[in-house]
Amino acid sequence: MKFVDAHIHLSDPEYEGKLDKIIEDARRSNVVALVSNSMNLRTSLLSLQLAEENPGFVYAALGIHPWNVATLSPGEAQETINLIVQHNKHKGKIIAVGEVGLDYICAEDVKTEELQREVLDKMLQASEKTSLPVIIHSRGTTSQIVDLLPSYQIKKVLLHWFSRPMSLLSRIMDHGYYITEGPASVFSRRLREIMRHVPLTNLLTETDGPVRYWGPFKGKMTTPSFIPMVIKAIAELKIMNEIDVADQILQNFISFFGVTPV
């Protein structure tokens, strides 16, 4: 079986000095593709570097995360957009704009919420300009974002770690959007219920590392080796063979991002 981690933060400081181990762990676990999502300009540059150093295995998603909008330096958002546009011509390195979105839970005031919306608008425009897929963070704001997205000419949308509301799933599927679920779905009743209802053809797997988890992952550094357990959980919920689930997820990855892992 071959597996994919469609959302991991390889450029996060917590993984500094551990990347060789992470990549070795992934290969040993038959994880054939890692999408390194970014948070700001610094992590975007590092994600791009990792993609260049590991062609056909590590892919870069560049963008400004809503958690970072309040600490952006002058021009940082535009520099990140310039990086996306400049390197988009090098197919197979940058494969998405991400991780971008809205998260008012972390916003200290209305001004920060407004800034999140402004930065998201710029990131979505970058997705339009480059025809790159967009990877969305939508904690507590999924309904607002799903209402907003049709006003942009964006071909492919991935809602990362979708958790609620369940009532929105039909609209998400009608738009042809994809969602990612990760290690929490192994033990979370809510996420398992979501995976039960999402068509397998709209699903991708992730770790969101270095985020830490409970359940069977408690006390462990998050690595791509967690993905096979996610596949097993999906197979149990769908009453399917694990090989068939893994094969479909890989095909979803290829179809969504437009790249074929080596």
**What is the per-residue pLDDT for 90?**
65
Residues 82-101 have pLDDT tens digits of: 999 988 766 678 999 999 99
**Quick one: pLDDT at residue 226?**
98
Residue 213: per-residue pLDDT? 96
Written as six digits, the tokens of 206 are 């992730």
Q: Does some domain include residue 141? A: yes
Structure tokens at 46: 């590092």
Q: What is the CATH number of the domain that holds 178?
A: 3.20.20.140
Nearest one of 200, 207, 211 to 237, comparing CA atoms? 200
The span from the CA of 46 to the CA of 18, in Å, is 14
Mean pLDDT over 67-95 rounds to 89
pLDDT over 80 (residue 12)? yes
Q: What is the pLDDT, as a whole number, of residue 107?
A: 86
- Is the residue at 46 inside a domain? yes
Count the domains in the chain. 1
pTM of the model: 0.96
In a domain, 11, yes or no: yes
Q: Is residue 79 part of a domain?
A: yes
Establish if 38 belongs to a structural domain.
yes
Residue 262 in any domain: the answer is no
The residue-averaged pLDDT of 130-134 equals 96
Q: For residue 34, what are the β-bridge partners? A: 5, 58
CA 32-19-136 angle, 5° bins: 65
Amino acid at residue number 173: M
* Residues of the domain holding 9: 3-257
Q: What is the mean pLDDT of residues 218-231?
A: 97
